[in-house]
Each structure stands twice: as C-alpha cells, then as structure tokens.
A and B are shown apart, each in its own frame.
Chain A
Amino acid sequence: MSNTGNGLRTRRGKRLAASAAGIAAVALTLAGCGGGDSGMGGSGGDEPAAAEECPCEIRFAWWGSDTRHESTEQIIEAFEAENPDITVVPDFTDWDGYWDKLATSVAAGDTPDVITQEERYISDYSTKNVLADLSQLDIDTSKVDDSVLAGGQIDGAQYGIPTGINAYAFVADPEIFADAGVELPDDTTWTWEDYVTTANAVSKGAGEGVWGTQDYGFNEAGLNVMARQRGETLFTPEGELGVSEQTVADFFQVSLDLMEGGGQPDAARTVEYQAAGPEGSLLGTNQGAMGVWWTNQLGALTDSSGHELELLRLPGETQGERTGMYYKPAMFYSVSADTEYPESSAKFVDFLLNSQEAADIMLTDRGLPANTEVREGILGDLSPTDQKMADFMADIEDEIVDTPPVPPHGSAELADIMERVNTDVLFERITPEEAATQFMEEVTAAIAG
C-alpha cells in the first residue's frame, strides 16, 4: 500500500501527491489495512509506565438506550469531580452499531480505553489481546461474589468485571392467567411438561388472539438451563460444546408440542413477535400469559403491558439432576490492553464498580449491581418492578449451583445459528433431531474457526 504513496511523491504535482498519499494512508487505516500493526503494539502499551502523567483523557465505550446514556454521563461527571485531572470522553451507540464500531476502532488502532463487553464477544476480544488482565490493575473486586467474578475470567485472567447480574426467567401475567381460568404454576416444582400443559390450557381458556406463551427457542440461554439441569452445560470450561444432541432435540421438541397444543402462536407469528422486542412481545401487548426473558427486561415488559407481571423460575429446576438457572453477568467492564493510561482507566472502572454514588445513579440499568455492598445501598431507591426483580434474584441465590464458563471464541455466531435452526423447526422444515444435528455441527464449526 505504501508503495503507491512513495511512487507518487517522486513525481510532479508534489503537494497534491503528498496530500493524496497522506489521505490514502488514512483511508487505508480506516479500511482496516495494516491498522492491526499500528494499533496492537505501536503505542507502547505493552509496558505501562510506572507513574502516569495526568491530566489525561480516557475514552469509555458503551451501548444502550437514551436513559443509559444520560445516567452514564452523570456518572462520568461525578467521577471527574472526584478526579479533576482525568477527563472521560463518552463514546456511546446503540447495541446494533456498537460491535461494528468497536471492531472498526480496534482495527484502526483507536481502541477505547474502557470498553463495555458482553459474554458473546469477550472471548473474541480477549484471545486477540485487545483486553487487559484486570487482576493486574488496581481495581477492588472484594465486594463481588467469586462465582460472579468467574464469569469474566478466561484462562485464569480477568478480562472483564461483571457490571451486574441478570437471570433468565419466566415472566407471567397473572391477569391473563385469571382471564383464562388457569392457576399460576408453582415455579418451585413445575416441570417442562407442566409448562406445555399450562400454556396450552391458557390458550384454550383465554380464547382467540391470546396465547399461553411466546416461543423460547431463539435464545440459547434456555437451552443452557435445560442442559445444566441434566448435568450438562452448553459450553465446557475448555471452550467446547458440552450439550448432548438429545438435549438439543428435546429443547426444540417443546416448541413443537406447544404449537401443536395451541400454547404458542403459529410459526410466522412467532417469528414476528420474536423480532418485536419486549414492547411488541406477547406479554407486552397483552396477548400472552408467559414468556422467557432476562430479569432486567421486566421493567420494559411491565411498562408496555400495563399489568403487574410476576417472575417465575424456569421449569424443571427440581426435575433433573440439579438446578440449571444462573446469574449472567449483564455486561462487563474491560480495559484496553493498549491504553496509554491503565491506571486512570482502572480508577474509572473501580469507580463504576464500587462507588455508591455511581450505583445510585445507575440503579439496575447494567443489571443488579455485582458489588453486593452497593447493591444493598440502592435497594431502597428501586421502583416496585426493580424491587421485585431484586427480590427474585435474592430468592434464587441459594439454588444456583455455579456460573457457566465464558462462551468460547466464535460464540458470537451462536445467536444467529439458534435463530435459523429454530425457525426451520417451527416451520417444520426439519425435525428436532435434525435440528440438533445441524446445531451441533454449526456451533462446533463456529467455535473452531
């Protein structure tokens, strides 16, 4: 690439050529070519200086909604008030654009200093040496449960610190249950079979246009819970697929049973509700009695349904070998391996994690705070819905056996694979057994590559 530039420079039209070459270089960096070299080791980030020279400026990247952007900017102000020599530059976007932008910034050698990460992506970034080992930095993690902290560890290094925790749970609408004349299931004992019969009964009782439940097959979290109940796991700590083909087939069979019994809508509608998010979901539009969601989505669901919704444990928790539910790190705080200012970045992460002031602003927006001390501190300030969520999380704490290991490199494709395989099952283009085979093959290929 640079040959073109040098060749140009020897000719006439010097100024134009020089600027063109310069711009071309920028263009190439933008396009990603060679950006890796300049970005990875070039800035001397490998050996951080003992003492940092501040005033300094660090960049914090996160995704989210407008409310999160506003609260995060307040937190940044609070941090800057405490640390006047550090300026935190906000770098935020919505979820969809976030990963495109982050990957491109890393390629351009312009990695944000503090990065919000998520479990599907953290392996990709840590194995490419983009993220720093946070255990080497000065961040106090003593108030975070070890099992929760383990959610951000890969090969013994702490690449991310959980911001907060969520659980994958059923959300139920008692009003629709009442309309249908069906009793809310006892979530401490219900089985997967009970789930199907309950949903079918609600559909029958509630009449036209209202269904028992929304299909759960698009999210691998449900599969992971079912696998864990059977003593398996979606991914092993070694980063391999740890679920049996039988379990995957059984998982998809539940959806088919529900469609057959009328407990969930037909395939085309299901695909549509799936794409509509919490606001357009069956629960959100008062057209369904149940749905499986992350606990932090309870607020959005409650708001759009206008009903008071309840959280239920997933079925089968007392049916199998062990319980399958778990705390999922909502997201992670990570620090760039390349940052010029590792100490300032660490100080900022420490503030986000441990400061009561930050927690009071953030509340449960990044999950129920992972720091148990600040979690206690915000309980009084929570909305009734968040309070319900916090209570539910506390209720299941003793039943949770462990946190699943970080999904391996390549697992970012899992969501896509789930959605394709599940759609094929729902439209009965493949049987659950064929779906299981296809799922195993595709996931194995994705995490090998």
Chain B
Amino acid sequence: MASQTEAAVRPTTNKEKSTTNPLKSNVVVGSLLPVTLIIIWELASRGGFVEPHLLPAPTTVVEEVITMAQEGELWGHIWITLYRVFTGFLLGTGAAILLGAATGYIKIVERILDPMLQALRAIPSLAWVPLFILWLGIGETSKITLVAVGVFFPVYLNLTSGIQGVDRKLIEVGRMYHFTALQQIKRIILPASLPSFLVGLRSGLSLGWMFVVAAELLGASEGLGYLMVFGQNTSAPELVIASILLFAIFGKITDEILKRIQTRTLKWQDNMENAS
C-alpha cells in the first residue's frame, strides 16, 4: 500500500556526512583563536612584556602541572574535588528526582512544597556556607551538602516543568489503553519529560562545579580550590592558573559525558541538532 511519494521521504543515512568530516574542520577552526592567543601570551612572557610573578608563561603553568603530577600531590587534590562534585551531584539529583517527581505529578504536593522551594532558591548559594560549616563542621559533609544544594535546584525545576509540560494528547492515548497511574508514569510521563530532565542535569552539574570551588575556597585543606588559595597566599600565579585549567578540563569532560548521554537518549527528538 505504501505509495511511491511517501516512500521517497525515507531519510538518508548519516553516512554521507562523514566523508566531509565536519568535526575535524570544526576542531581546527575552533582552535585557531585560542592557539594564537596562547602563542602571543608565551611570546609576551618570554620577551618580558608581562611580569612573570603576575602572569607566568603557559609553559611554566604546564610545567607546574607536570611537576605536581610527577610528585604525586596533584592526584590527591583532583581526587578529593571529583569526589565532592560527584557525591554532591548524586545526592542533589536524587533529592531533586524525588521531590521534583512528586511536585510535577501530584497537585497537592506542588501546592505545599513548591512555594517554599522557590523561596529557598532565592537565597544566594554562598549564603549557606557559614550555616553549613556551623552545622556540619568543616569536613567533607558541609562541602558535599553545598554542592548538592547547587545541583538540586536546576534538576528539580527542569524535572517539574518537564512533567507538567507533557502533552495532554499523549496522556490521552494512554487513557485509551486504560493505563494505570504507574503505567502512565513509566510509559508516557517519564520518557516525555526526559529531555527537560537531562537539561536540568547538565545545568546542575555546572552549578555543582561552581559550588565546589566556593566550598574549597572558603575552607579546605585539599582540593583544586584549595590549591588556588594556596597559590594566592604563596604568590604562585602558575598554581592558580593551573588549577583554573584543571577545573576547566574536568568540567568540560563531565559535561561532555552528559552531553553524549543526552544526544544518544534523545536521538528521537525533532530538533535542529538531529536534522539529517
């Protein structure tokens, strides 16, 4: 029965694309500016145009990283920071899923819970720090809690709005099949709110990185944030820049992981990115 005209809309495969390899050329084009800037920076430092005790040359920064890595002290700092981000991320996401799902799905919970959470959201993140330190001490707990608070809100907000934004027309399809509430959630509401949830996860993660810096700047004895404070106190700008560099690298890697997950699970979405 399929007519010729309809069969003609069969989409072309993506294989044709890879011959031109847009990724490769994108990488080249995208690196042009930063590479040029780094070269200028290096030349300026070597030529003595900038004070090395304020802005050390890129090679000095890289050397610093390599030395610390070889001496082994760097790994401890990286590990503890990653541990704080991930534990906080997991806790914040877990709490956001529980509360966000309840708020999105059950009207009465929304009316009770949402106004309070929205009010708490208005508190600037750093305002929590003294309280958390007072309550939870200067150990890991207060830092992880701070990260979790940062992660919580974007995930919560996106999940709630994702659930509430599920197309009524799709829900009606489920009702035609007499789905139970649980089946509705599992088979329609969850997959339909997934895009919004993943957006929440990504902004949650980036806030998590921001909050871990805050936590480590304000009272830590190890971690990448602590290295920055240490570099500041010992007038070692290469240490500060190295820490910034490492934050950037790890932030980018973790975001890239989430982005890959997002692209893979949402390949059904009809949007610009998936246009063939």
Bound together: no
- B residues near A (Cβ < 8 Å) are none
- A residues near B (Cβ < 8 Å) are none
